[in-house]
Amino acid sequence: MLPLTVADAGVENIIKRVGGNPEVKQHLENLGFVVGGTVRVITVIGGNVIVNVKESRVAISREMAQKIMV
């Protein structure tokens, strides 16, 4: 398992674990980051990670992306 921050851009990954405190986990789940779901890194800009998750483009901070293991 690797954090989402080191995943290759353009490659579809399966989410294996979502870490963090309960509030952070709930926030990420509300955005679509659920175990077993797919996520694709689009690009990294200024410390933010832009990803495709559940047919939507979402920008999350580097700290949040570190909590998502693929």
The H or E element that residue 24 is part of is helix 22-31
Q: What are the structural domains of the chain?
A: 4-69 (2.30.30.90)
What does the alpha-carbon distance between residue 70 and residue 34 come to, in Å, rounded to a whole number? 11
Residue 46's pLDDT band (boundaries 50, 70, 90)? confident
Percent of the chain residues topping a pLDDT of 90: 93
Mean pLDDT of the chain: 94
Mean pLDDT of 19-30: 94
Assess whether pLDDT exceeds 90 at residue 2.
yes
